[in-house]
Amino acid sequence: MIRSLNHVGLIVPSLEIGRAFYECAGLETRASGRDLVCRCEGRDQDQIRLIEGPKKRLAYVSFGTHAGGLSEVRARLEAADVEIGHAPVEVPFGGIWFKDPDGDWINVQEADDAPSTLPPPPEINAPQRYRRIGVRACDVTSSHKRARPRRLGHLIKFSPDVDRAVRFYSDVLGLLVSDRALDILAFMRSPFGGDHHMLGIAKSSHTGLHHLSFEVGDIDEIEMGAQHLLASGYKDGFGFGRHGAGSNYFHYVRDPWNSLIEYFWDIDVIPEGADWTPMGASEDEMRAVLEAVWSGTPAPKDFIMNFEEPD
């Protein structure tokens, strides 16, 4: 079964435009063959592979499984009559390749945990839980006023049939639904525990990438990252605010091709085997899944638009 989100492949018309954006967002980039890969500082795992092509689109999503997990994934795919194919693009890694019901290419490979070597963020002083004692939270002498993304936490991709996609990712690949709003939006997590969601599926007329989301060290880094991108000329997406589904604080900024990058912090974590009841059964819960708990400004009308062109 799937255990983790590994990285995402994107076809983009210009690697250099991609490099400029993701470096501005705080990621490190390096060439990999003809492609460009993006990583988080201090972490040994590719997070985005940019592949040059005629128009921007989601190329594939790569998930991780535990050692020995590939044979189980292969057996589940075969039992569901899912054809196992070959990588749709030239990549320097192996694993299993297949298409999900939306026609998006999925890769599953064995992947170990990739812990961050960055120092942990400052402790938080909350009422009745004062944990930063005798230490300043803010180092005003620091020149580092940028976001330092720690890891790719999740992606949300569009689907013309959310029900069908949820069935596939749960029945065949083992993901669990954390929260859901009918056939409009579903958040899915690893069955081995972890973030509230590593995959979100949102209704659209066709497939495409909505956003890639990176965990940062604290609230400050969400806004330092977003404000730096905006000051550099990139377009605001939505935020600052706090989500209902997953509870994370967020700010989204448009990438050069009108998908979004999200900075997040303080997401709900659900352990393996938890007795977790998804929201979405009532009108109020559905609104909580679809809307922010609060945000500085309302979500813009184009926030949920799919800007990828259909094939």
**DSSP result, 295-311:** ESSPPPGGGG---SPP-
Rounded to whole angstroms, how far apart are CA atoms 257 and 288?
29
Helix, strand, coil fractions of the chain, as percent rounded to 5: 20, 35, 45
- N- to C-terminal Cα distance for the chain? 30
H and E: helices and strands count for the chain = 5, 21
- For Fe ion, the closer of residues 106 and 267 by Cβ is 267
Minimum CB separation of residue 201 from Fe ion in Å reads 12
Written as six digits, the tokens of 232 are 């550099």
Minimum CB separation of residue 16 from Fe ion in Å reads 27
- Which residues on neighbouring strands pair with residue 160, listed in sequence order? none
Minimum CB separation of residue 262 from Fe ion in Å reads 5
- For Fe ion, the closer of residues 47 and 213 by Cβ is 213
Minimum CB separation of residue 263 from Fe ion in Å reads 10
User: Could you give the string, one character per residue 205-224, with x where binding to Fe ion holds by CB under 5 A and - elsewhere?
Assistant: --------x-----------
Minimum CB separation of residue 238 from Fe ion in Å reads 10
- For Fe ion, the closer of residues 234 and 263 by Cβ is 263
User: Could you give the string, one character per residue 240-279, with x where binding to Fe ion holds by CB under 5 A and - elsewhere?
Assistant: ----------------------x-----------------
Written as six digits, the tokens of 92 are 């320097």
What is the number of the residue whose Cβ is closest to Fe ion? 213
The bridge status of strand 199-203 relative to strand 208-215 is unpaired
- For Fe ion, the closer of residues 100 and 262 by Cβ is 262
- For Fe ion, the closer of residues 36 and 152 by Cβ is 152
Minimum CB separation of residue 49 from Fe ion in Å reads 20
- Which residues in 132-151 contact Fe ion (CB under 5 A)? none
The site that binds Fe ion (CB under 5 A) totals a number of residues, namely 2
- For Fe ion, the closer of residues 98 and 249 by Cβ is 249
Residue 280's closest CA among 182, 199, 139? 182
Does 178 engage in binding with Fe ion (CB under 5 A)? Answer: no
Helix (H, G, I), strand (E, B) or coil at 157: strand
Q: Report yes or no: 74 and 66 within 8 Å, Cβ to Cβ.
A: no
Q: Report yes or no: 17 and 232 within 8 Å, Cβ to Cβ.
A: no
- For Fe ion, the closer of residues 199 and 286 by Cβ is 199
Q: Report yes or no: 187 and 197 within 8 Å, Cβ to Cβ.
A: yes
Written as six digits, the tokens of 241 are 């605010």
Minimum CB separation of residue 9 from Fe ion in Å reads 19
Binding site for Fe ion (CB under 5 A): 213, 262
